Chain A
C-alpha cells in the first residue's frame, strides 16, 4: 500500500506538467501571433473575412482537406517513382552529350 501511495503522488505530480505542456503545445500550434487571446485561428479568420457566401463555402471545404493523408500519399508517390531513378541515372551516364544530374521523383 505504501508502495502504491508513492506511485500515485509522482504520477499526479507529473501528470499536471504533462497536461500543461499539452496546452502549451496546442497554444504554440496556433502559430505566431495567434495565441488563445489574440483572435481567431487563422483558418477561421479567413472564413469570417470571406466577402461572399460562395467564398466562405469554398474556404470551409478547403479547411477540410486532410493534409496528413495528402502528405502520406505524396510520400508513397515519391517512393513509387523512385523505381525509375536508377534507370534514369544510368541512362544519363551512358548517353553522349548529357550532363549528369538527379532526376525528379
Chain B
C-alpha cells in the first residue's frame, strides 16, 4: 500500500514537472512568425516588373544581396532589357544604421557617385515626379517608411491566444514609428492575421499568415499582405497671380491631395526552409505583387542561392563592387559600343557665328517651313459668383449658367472648325533637299544653342544644383526661337546624311581589343556563379561586339542562346520583349533574311505567354506592326481564349494592320532611315497591296467578335478612352481611367470611323430621315 502511494506521488510529481517544463518551453518559444538570428546571408534575386504602359512592357533586374541584422548591401549586375525603362546596371546600395550609401558607376554622368545619405533621413517630401522619372535616391525614404512600420515581438507583450489590440510604444533605440496600433489574431502562439494602423487610425496594411500543416513548431508557408490605397500629396511648385481692375494678388498653390497604390496591392510572400551551414532558417523565396482590384500581376521576385558568408562590412562592399560594379572590361566594351554603334557625329567647329542672329535667320529663311497658325483661343468662361442660397434660385442660376456654357462651347467648336478648314487650305512651301554644307551649319548651330538652353554642369550632375535645367530669360528667348526654327527646317525638308554621320571603320587595334573581350565574355557566359544576370550581361556584350564587326551569323546564334537562357530562367515575357529587340538590330543593317528567320522562332516562343503579356506587348510602341500581326495570328489560334481575349486580340490585330498599312503608304516615312529599313524588311515578306487587302476582313472579324460579346461590349469592351482626353478634361469630368480593353475598343472605333469616312458617300443632311441606330434598343 505504502509502495503504491509512493509510486503515485512520484507519478504526480513527474507529471507536474513535465507540465511545468512544457509550460516553460511554451513561454520561451517566440511567437510566430518571427525572425531568427542567422548571421550574414548572401543570395541572388531575379525581379520582374510589369508595365501596362505603352513605352515598355516589362523589365527584369538581376541583383545579389548581402543581408544581416544590422545592414544590407545590394549589387545590381544586370537589367534586362538595358536602355529600356530605368536601367539599374552597376547600382550599389549599402544601408546601415549610419546612412544609405549609393553608387552608380555606369550612369555616373547622371546619378551621384558614392553618395551617402545620413540617417535618420528627412521626412519624404510630397511626390514631385508627375511624368518624370523617379529619382532612385528616394529609395531611402521607402526604407525609412518600412522600418517605421516594422513590428517587434515586444509590441505584442505577453499576449495569449485570441484577439490582441495594442497601442505600440517607441521602437528599439527610439526609432520613429508610423505604426501606432496593431490588432492581431493569435492562436497556439502563432499570429493568424494582423492589422497595422497609424496614429490617425488609418489602416497601413492587413496581413494574413498561412502555416504548413505539421506536428512540429509552426512553419510559415505564406504571408499575404493587403496594402490599401493611400493618400498622398503632390508637390505643386510656384504661384498664380490674379489681376483684376485695380488689384493684383499672388497666391501660393497648395499641394494637391492625391492617392497612391490605386486599386490596392496584394503582396504574397512564400517561405521555405533554407539550410545555412548547420542551421535551417525559414526564409522568403518568392514575392508576388498584384493589383488587388483586378489581380493584375505587377511585379515578382525570386530569391535563390542562399549562403551564409563570413565577411565584415567593408569586405561585403568590396564583394558587391566586384560582382555588379563597373570593371575594366565592361568599361572598355562601353567605349567601343559608343564609338561604333552609338556613334555621335563630330560636326567640327562652328562655321557660322552663333551670336550673329541676322546671319542665322538668313540661313533659316533659305529653307522656309510651313508654320501652323495658332489655334483660336477658347473663349474664357464667363465668370460667375457664388450660387444663391435659396435652392430654387440656385437651380435657376445653374440652368442659366449651363445655357451660357453650351453657347460658349458651340461658339468655340465653330471657331475650331473654321480654323481647321483654314489650316487645310493653307499652301505649304515645297520640300527641298538641304545642301550638305547648310545641313552641317544648321546642325552645328542647333547643338550649340541646345547646350546654352539646357546646360548640364558638374553641380547639376552631382545634385548640388537642383535648379530647373531650362533657365527662362529674355536674353535666351531669341536663342530658343532660333533653335526651334533650326529643328523645324531639319524636320520639314530633306536633310542629307553627312559623311561624319557614318561610324568609322573598325581600326585594327580595336579589332584586337574586341577579340580579347570576346574571349573574356565567352568565359563569363558559362559562369554559373554570376547567376542568369551575369550570363545575360556577358551575352549582351558579345552580341553587341558581333554587330560592331558585322558578324551576323554569330549574332544569330547569340539570339538563340539568349532565348534559351531566358526560358531556363522562366522569363517568357522577356523572350518576347527582349527577343524582338535583338531581331530589330538586324533590320537596320539590312539583314532581312536573318531577321525573318528569327521572327518565326520568336513568334513560336512568344505564344508561350498569356494574353495579358502578349497584348501588352502588342499595344506598346515596341516591335514593328508586321511582327505584331504575325504574333497575333499565331496567338489567336491558341485554344481556350475567352471571347473577350479573342476580341481584344482581333482588335489589336486591326490596329497593327492599320499602322502597317499607313506606314507602307506613307512616302515621307522613307525619309527616316530606320523606318525605311523596317519597310524594306516588311516588303521582303509581303506587298503593299496584300497588307491593304488584309485590313478590311480584319476589321470585319474584330467587329463581329465585339458584337458577339453581348452585354460585355457595353461594359468591359466599351469604346472609351481616358488617354485621349486632356488632363483638364479628365479632372473636370472626374473621368474614370479606361481599362486597356476599353482603350483598344476606342482605337478600333477610331479606325472604323476613319476608314468608313474615306469610303462612304457624304453623311446625310441633318434634316434627312435617319436610320434608327441599331444600338438604341
Contact = CB atoms under 8 A, between A and B. Distances in A.
Nearest to B753: A15
A90 B204 CA distance: 21
Interface stretch (B33-41, B321-329, B333-341): B33-41
B207 interface: yes
B481 interface: no
B152 A39 contact: no
A102 B267 contact: yes
A101 B142 contact: no
Contacts of A10: 700, 703
Contact of A58 (B244, B254, B734, B756): B254
A16 to B, nearest CB: 5
B618 interface: no
B143 A88 contact: yes
Given A8-B756, A19-B749, A78-B299, 10 more contacts: A10-B700, A28-B720, A29-B736, A66-B130, A73-B133, A86-B284, A93-B283, A99-B153, A99-B191, A101-B149
Contacts of B703: 10-11, 14, 18
A48 B402 CA distance: 11
A21 B227 contact: no
Contacts of A90: 41, 43, 65, 67, 72, 283-284, 303
27 contacts: A8-B759, A11-B700, A18-B719, A29-B733, A57-B251, A67-B258, A69-B131, A70-B127, A70-B130, A74-B261, A77-B138, A79-B86, A81-B139, A84-B74, A86-B43, A86-B65, A90-B43, A90-B283, A91-B67, A94-B36, A99-B153, A100-B220, A101-B149, A101-B151, A101-B225, A102-B205, A104-B149
B15 to A, nearest CB: 33
A95 B37 contact: yes
B734 A31 contact: yes
A104 B146 contact: yes
B774 A21 contact: no
B242 interface: yes
Nearest to A68: B723
Interface in B377-417: 381, 384, 386-387, 398, 401-402, 405
Given A20-B776, A57-B242, A94 B41 contact: yes
Interface in B133-170: 133-134, 136, 138-139, 142-143, 145-146, 149-156
B63 interface: yes
A41 B726 CA distance: 14
A97 B34 CA distance: 6
Contact of B143 (A19, A82, A84, A101): A84
B733 A42 contact: yes
A103 B146 CA distance: 5
B768 interface: no
A97 B677 CA distance: 62
Given A82-B301, A87-B65, A94-B67, A42 B732 contact: yes
Nearest to B742: A25
A92 B35 contact: yes
Interface string A55-66: 001101111111
A65 B707 CA distance: 37
Contact of A15 (B31, B737, B756): B756
A54 B249 contact: yes
Given A42-B734, A66-B131, A83-B47, A93 B36 contact: yes
Interface in B588-623: none
Could you say which interface size class chain A belongs to? Answer: 35 or more
Nearest to A72: B53
Given A19-B753, A29-B733, A7 B41 contact: no
A53 B47 CA distance: 50
A85 B227 CA distance: 14
| Among all A-B residue pairs, the 5 with the closest Cβ atoms | A25-B720, A43-B732, A69-B131, A102-B225, A103-B146
Contacts of B258: 65, 67, 70
Nearest to B699: A11
B301 A57 contact: no
Contact of A77 (B61, B95, B129, B256): B129
Contacts of A82: 47, 49, 289, 299, 301
Interface residues of B, number: 140
A45 to B, nearest CB: 9
A14 B415 CA distance: 30
Contact of B145 (A8, A39, A48, A104): A104
Contacts of B129: 70, 73-74, 76-77
Contacts of B149: 101, 103-104
B234 A65 contact: yes
Contacts of B748: 18
Contacts of A41: 732-734
Contacts of A74: 127, 129, 232, 260-261
Nearest to B250: A54
Contacts of A62: 236, 253, 256, 731
Interface string B213-253: 00000001001010100001010100010101000010101
Given A81-B142, A99-B191, A100-B35, A24 B236 contact: no
Contacts of A51: 386
Contacts of B686: none
Nearest to A43: B732
Contacts of A17: 773-775
Given A31-B733, A58-B251, A78-B298, A84 B139 contact: yes
A22 B759 CA distance: 21
A26 B33 CA distance: 50
B287 interface: yes
B648 to A, nearest CB: 15
B730 A67 contact: yes
Contacts of A2: none
A65 B256 contact: yes
B226 to A, nearest CB: 9
B146 A88 contact: yes
B301 A86 contact: yes
B760 interface: yes
B31 A71 contact: no
A2 to B, nearest CB: 14
B269 interface: yes
B655 interface: no
Given A7-B700, A58-B254, A68 B774 contact: no
Contacts of A43: 728, 731-734
B652 interface: no
A84 B753 CA distance: 48
B153 A98 contact: yes
A77 B283 CA distance: 26
A83 B89 CA distance: 13
Interface string B482-516: 00000000000000000000000000000000000
A62 B414 CA distance: 28
Which of B207, B401, B727 is the most central at the interface, judged by chain A CB atoms within 10 Å of its CB?
B727
Contact of B69 (A13, A40, A78, A95): A95
A92 B666 CA distance: 59
B722 interface: yes
Given A73-B129, A83-B88, A101-B151, A12 B760 contact: yes
Interface in B660-676: none
Contact of A65 (B38, B133, B731, B737): B731
Contacts of B736: 29, 31
B741 interface: no
B718 A25 contact: yes
B714 interface: yes
Nearest to A99: B151
A79 B718 contact: no
B283 A22 contact: no
Contact of A11 (B38, B223, B735, B756): B756
A10 B398 CA distance: 43
B349 to A, nearest CB: 40
B650 interface: no
A76 B723 CA distance: 18
